[in-house]
Amino acid sequence: MAGRFQGSSVFITGASSGIGEALARAFALEGARLALAARRLERLESVRQELMPAAAEVLAVPCDVTSRPSLDAAVAQTAEAFGGIDVAVANAGFGVTGFFQDLSTADFRRQFETNVFGPMRLVRAVVPGMRERGHGVVVNVTSVEGRVAAPLSGAYCATKHALEALSESLAFEVGHFGVRVVIVEPGYIAPGMRNQVRHGEEGTPYAELRAQWSGADETLVGPAGRPAPELVGRAIADAIADPDTPLRVPVGADAEMVLSARAALDDAAVSACICEPPASTC
């Protein structure tokens, strides 16, 4: 029996590992034609070779989302090979952690170049073709931290909040052309992105907060630990296949819990939960 995506062409950034790789595998098993885009060409080729027996077609496309010419070339190569792009998934991203005042302007700019301007470049490259054909799906992978900010992650949270807003605005603009937008909000997923963690908070005014917040992610996901990226891959595939999927799709029990708690608590209660987690009743 044909899969749900038989004949569909799918372009995925950040496809060489983690969520992107898991998503590519999910699409391959359902007959999609895939363009795997990332900077790590050796790893991309390895993924392509693995998926070739299942997928209808698989391309390994070199792509740096921080470069408009690079991304445009990758999209053009894919569109020429497949006759267009039906689904575009902006998954590439990375995180820098550290206290707000310790992160440089360069740290923030690097985050925005990949996590915000990267998806913007992809949208500009693929939406005109989707609009002309009257169909298409754009998926932007944000995070639960795109809805609820956390300490030590100001730069990352800022990029994901920005991408949430841009995605919502885009949905209003392109929906009447037959183009859907889906915002996927994963919780704490393993193995996740290769965070560039900053240390050195000991002896600073923030040392106590660092100690209080240490291990918070593991506490949220519970004894079972972080779910595998396949959970997000399946959620994205299901969201694309179902035209009635809402704009935002939280993924993971921790994401759903955090968003539910944030909706029920005022700012003062949330601050108490974050600043004094051991004594919190949230």
Strands 87-90 and 57-62: unpaired
The closest of 50, 176, 155, 161 to 109, measured between CA atoms, is 155
Helices 68-82 and 117-133 meet at what angle, rounded to 10? 30
Beta bridge partners of 59: 35
CA dist 66 → 163, 201, 239 (Å): 15, 30, 27
Q: Which listed residue (11, 112, 117, 156) is catalytic?
A: 156
Verify whether residue 156 is a known catalytic residue: yes
Helices (H) and strands (E) in the chain, counts: 11, 9
Distance CA 31, CA 52 (A): 11
What ranges make up the beta strands (E) of the chain?
9-13, 33-38, 57-62, 87-90, 96-97, 136-141, 179-186, 196-197, 248-251
Q: Which residues are catalytic?
A: 156
